[in-house]
A and B are shown apart, each in its own frame.
Chain A
Amino acid sequence: MTSAARVSPPAGNTGNVIRDSALGIVPETLDHYLALNAAIWDAGPLSAAEVELARLRNARHTGCVLCQAVRYDVAIADGLTEDKVQVIRQDDPAAQLSERERLIVAFVDQYNLDPAGIPAQLQQDLLAAFREHELLHLSLLVAWFNGSSRCAVALGGMPEAMPRLEISVPR
């Protein structure tokens, strides 16, 4: 992994972590990025704790140190504990999770490892445990966080390790 950032962020400090990052130098996409990121947190039926669980499990796959260090304050307020975060960092955390949490992790793993090979049993379990809108929210948030996490890694400048960092959803 590179140790130097490959792109310079824009000059100035707006206080918005997305606008102030390298993403801020592409004005054509910036507002779309911000609107989609906010909608992922605000406009879907899954709880903030479930969104964060999926986001953190995804970050484990992409290897994004920053994404793994961040905790969104809305998820903490919604009840996501650090103990739970440590559980989902395990290779096979299913035994320590609720059925919904187990299926969220299973979906994230499937999306990352073999999206075309989703087993019929996992499909049935997801349909039994989640409403359609919840499954759509889960799918879209995993796609979003996976793509943005890959972008963060590829832009370089990622440290080897980072302390836990609690932030608000940038708007």
Chain B
Amino acid sequence: MTDEPYRWLEAIGQRREYVESRLHGGSPILAACLHQGLLLLGVGTGQSKVFEIFDRHAMAGIGHPADLERLRQSAIDAAHLEAFTRAPDDVSLRRLVSFGIAPTIKVAFEQLFSPPFLARTLFVELGATPTEDTLAHVDFDGTFAFQKGGCRILAEPGTDTGPAEAFLATHQRPEFTLPAAAQLLLSVWTHLTQGAALTTDATPPPRLAELIGSRTLEAGFLARSHRRAARYLALTPEQLGLAPSPTP
């Protein structure tokens, strides 16, 4: 197969369709760069979508849990080795993604007799200011793209994220508090998953349980001002000002 270019291309195409079909139904992830820090928000089953990688680094992903786990472990190994053999400040998202994660994913995707990564991931790095925060979108074929500051949506392939991205570009502000940002990201999540209208006028905002059902809100926050080197905090809905269930 591999010595016939057409069949190789055909096989790669089929592999792409297969991976995209397996990513179908993945719950979106949203990220926002704030003055307070960098917020990652998703809805999953608890410790399933948003993870700490290193002092100023985190990741979130949609896809097969085992593949997300492989990528998470690989990123953690690389970051800690780099920090120990050089220094924590030498751990950079650009090097982690460009020279470590993305090539590994690309090789797995293009080697037809090895399993591809069924995962679409977002890696983030906390900078000194919101505009210096780095967000890296890494796709299942190893394609990656960096972004400085702003917001980012990670959704299943084929999702039209255009309106939601435009909405976030208009309404999300770095000076937002954590609860305000979380509420906005959650409203975008409900738009992407349930087709709810994009609005900031929901007063009072809907209860969390009405939005996500029995699933778990997963929020990771890289705090910009923190006494310790490890900036990652796993936040609960209460810490985000999101009431978990309707009051009786």
A and B co-occur in one complex: no
Residues of B in contact with A (beta carbons under 8 Å apart): none
Residues of A in contact with B (beta carbons under 8 Å apart): none
